[in-house]
Structure 1
Amino acid sequence: MTLSKIKVDLVAVPFSGHLYPLLEIALPLLQDNRYEVRVFTGVNKVALAEKLGFTVIPFFPDDPDKMERIANTENQVNAYGMYQQLKQNLTLIPEVIDFLKEDFQAHQTDIVVADFVAVPAGIVCNQLGIPWITTIPTPFAIESQQTTPSYLGGWYPPKSTLGKIRDWFGRKMVRSFKRSVVWLLRKQLRPYDFHLYRQKEETIYSPYAILGLGMKELEFRDDFPAQFQWAGPCCSSLETSDISLDKKAYVLVTNGTHLLWGKETLTNVVCQLAQKYPQFHFLISYGDDQQEEIQRLRENVSAYSYLPYEQVLPQVQYVIHHGGAGILYNCIKYQRPALILPHDYDQFDYAVRAELAGVAEVANRQNFQEIEAKFQHLVTREWSALAKLSQQWSTYQPSQCLIKEIQRLKEGEDK
């Protein structure tokens, strides 16, 4: 008797920090005869996913850059900017929901694994009664119930009663902001019977399973939902580039893919540092994997359109980055000390965690004197904590966690 395969659909927006961890954690499923796996994402990432062996169904095939135009802002995002982004994203939701609903039904999908910002996937699963799993590379984005809130500029855990009072007000502020946004967008959300909370937990995350794609050792919060578990970092670049460096002392510099508005400023900062530190050669990666330009900006500054972290990190000594999850965990994996210049979103919170863990220096990106002083610390201090965290990093098995949860949900469904 031949058993039917478990049909697993992956859903993510076409951005490296969201799609790549989901593809990485699901890669072993392609070699397992128990599963039939498909990927739903944007057009610009279809070729990459297909190269890995996935079957891909693209969103908005007639407008490949539709989602990228919303996410890749030219200015720093504030609270109003986040509201505007959400409002623009809501214009895409009806089409995405209809598309997913029709396809899931026709395909008879068994399990859905969705990145935490792929909200339409959860809405459709709830409507169709399909068990689903949330993957989240930024676990502290889940709203805190009793501990320090995130997305408020990078708050350190409290050391006094006054700090606990600050956290209480911060949690109230975060919830009030979310409720205000939902109220302002109530007309757009009404067709989906959307509620922000379910028994005090946010409904955008799966009630079945949430896999945190990070390290418990780096987190000071302990108030995650009961269905949450630490699966471990998924930070593979998935792409390759032919780069071989000579035996100079190199510093990798990156601020990811989204921060278009910050790249020119970062370049200027690096050129100033390069003038003061001629013994280092600075390699700037602009995070655009659609181009292959190389520029020599100074004798010891080279700019690349894209450098895969996994290929370049073993060849450099230090890193300057923005505090994104991918580069942060790769620095831990390869034991590379970093200077973090947080720009936006979750980066301030990651910077706090990296500093407390003893794996990075942190500086204000607008204060060059502070940047210079912290860079001097970076290249002169000891970094003993990196070796221990790197060893702990290697103990996680994210894909095994995913497979275990898929089997648990499928077996529960069959009973």
Structure 2
Amino acid sequence: MAQKIFAFFPEAAFGPALNSVGIAQAVEALGHKAVFLSDPGFVEVYQGYGFEAHPVALSEPMPPEQMAKFWEDFINGHIPNFRKAPIDQIDNYVKDCWEAIVDSAKWAQKDLPGVLDKVKPDVIAVDNVILFPAIKQYGVPWVRVISCSENEIEDEGIPPHLSGCGENDAACHKAFRDRFNTVIKPIHDDFNAFLAECGEDAYPIGQFFEASPYMNLLLYPEPVKFQRDVPLDPGQFQYLEGCVRKEEPYEVPTFAKNNDGPLLYVSFGSLGAGDTDLLKRIIAALANSPYRALVNIGDYAAEYSDLPGNVQVAGWFPQPSVIPQVDAVIHHGGNNSFTECLYFGKPAIIMPYVWDGHDNATRVQETGHGFKMPRYDWTDAELLAKIETCLTDKAMAAKLAATSKHMQSQSGPAKAAKLLEGLAK
């Protein structure tokens, strides 16, 4: 097959960005060209993996450093809201997010047509939670990538996206949906007015995107997927079983203390690292434990001093090279961390703070692959007991081994690349 051009347009967050990198690597392995359409603050991320990347303005133009800090400042400004239940985040964090996301779609519409004309893609893959009309209208097959929890594709029988509700807790589902639709209505009305200007039909309340008629790729693995009232048609929806990218090798450093103890990896993602009080508290809880820990502290190295001998920190880790070498992971429930732990068969303790972290935390516990823990309301003894269970529970270990074997037999990025190539034909 002649070389085709595949354009990837992930949202400006490391989860979607790095999932798309994994798929793009597999597309290039088939002999095609992968190109990124990117928030200006993320262009260098894709270039760092060797890809061509074209900036698309998603907000008022500003210097790249300032752009990169926008979401970091946004998240840090909401740290007090991380203590709230998901339903109580709707009228602060969630509302503010949707306002910014709708704004980004309006900005993108100015830039996208010109960028698409320059790139001339044969297929476009979008990993975002909102419709970009220019992509739907460009005239080539477009694919929606769902790198968050699979409940981003709605179904009456499963928990609403962002709710953290249990699978069968119908009262929780209803309360969250009702509150979300009430709070979001003015933003949704504004988005529908924008869609009308672009010649698109209005979306029903609560929806900001649609399934692609061509193909939709869900990163959620089959062993944790929800029982839907209406099963997804495999001709239009495919589960990728995670999408783990290739990263540089990682060598575990020598620890001054507990050098042969079980190894933990602690990360709240690039944005969650701003919650330094919580990370310091976890480090203090681990200080007198028999474990070792690698802790991702993002850009906040200046906040940490006098670390215990069994803890080492870094501003970034090549996560897919680290997780296979550890015994358990404490994370925020981002979909990369969630699926990578399952892919490598590692138990996780998820302390969620926002977005689909709530859903993934509930799901990891419901399906027996780890624990959901409140972010702040825990004692050192409770945390250490949960870690010990992760390391010793035989049923959990067996379940993780089976899930890992299943996911690794599927090769998500290669499967995605083949599906995209099929659309280019």
SS at match of 2:264: strand
Note the aligned Cα RMSD (angstroms): 3.2
Runs of 4+ in 1 over 6 A off after TM superposition: 198-201, 290-294
SS at match of 1:234: coil
SS at match of 1:335: coil
1:281 correspondence with 2:278: no
> What is the alpha-carbon distance in structure 1 between the residues aligned to residue 107 and residue 190 of structure 2?
21
Alpha-carbon deviation of 1:311? 2.6
Task: Tell me what 2:64 maps to.
Answer: 64
Task: Tell me what 1:8 maps to.
Answer: 6
SS at match of 1:312: helix
> What is the alpha-carbon distance in structure 2 between the residues aligned to residue 217 and residue 333 of structure 1?
11
1:31 correspondence with 2:44: no
Of the structure 1 ranges 4-13 and 58-67, higher mean CA displacement relative to structure 2 is found in 58-67
Deviations 1:34-77 (A, max 9, x none): x3321112345434423433221123586214554443211245
Contact 1:28 1:399 in 2 (8 A): yes
Alpha-carbon deviation of 1:385? 1.1
1:233 correspondence with 2:233: no
Of the structure 1 ranges 91-100 and 130-139, higher mean CA displacement relative to structure 2 is found in 91-100
Contact 1:12 1:117 in 2 (8 A): no
Structural mapping, 1:11-410, within 5 Å = 11-33=9-31, 35-60=32-57, 63-65=63-65, 67-72=67-72, 73-74=75-76, 75-76=78-79, 78-79=89-90, 80-117=92-129, 119-120=131-132, 123-151=133-161, 153-158=163-168, 163-164=169-170, 166-183=172-189, 191-193=197-199, 195=201, 197=203, 203-222=209-228, 223=230, 225-226=232-233, 227-236=236-245, 238=247, 243-245=252-254, 247-249=259-261, 250-275=263-288, 277=289, 279-288=290-299, 297-369=307-379, 370-382=382-394, 383-410=397-424
Contact 1:41 1:58 in 2 (8 A): yes
Match of 1:29, as an amino acid? V
Of the structure 1 ranges 364-373 and 211-220, higher mean CA displacement relative to structure 2 is found in 364-373
The number of residue pairs the alignment matches comes to 399
Alpha-carbon deviation of 1:260? 4.4
Distance change in 2, residues 1:202/1:229 (3 Å): farther
> What is the alpha-carbon distance in structure 2 between the residues aligned to residue 260 and residue 6 of structure 1?
39
% same residue: 20
Unpaired segments of 5 or more residues in structure 2? 82-88
SS at match of 1:394: helix
> What is the alpha-carbon distance in structure 2 between the residues aligned to residue 239 and residue 345 of structure 1?
29
> What is the alpha-carbon distance in structure 1 between the residues aligned to residue 317 and residue 268 of structure 2?
12
Alpha-carbon deviation of 1:206? 2.1
Deviations 1:115-147 (A, max 9, x none): 123643xx1122232320011122424243221
> What is the alpha-carbon distance in structure 2 between the residues aligned to residue 353 and residue 317 of structure 1?
20
> What is the alpha-carbon distance in structure 2 between the residues aligned to residue 379 and residue 41 of structure 1?
40
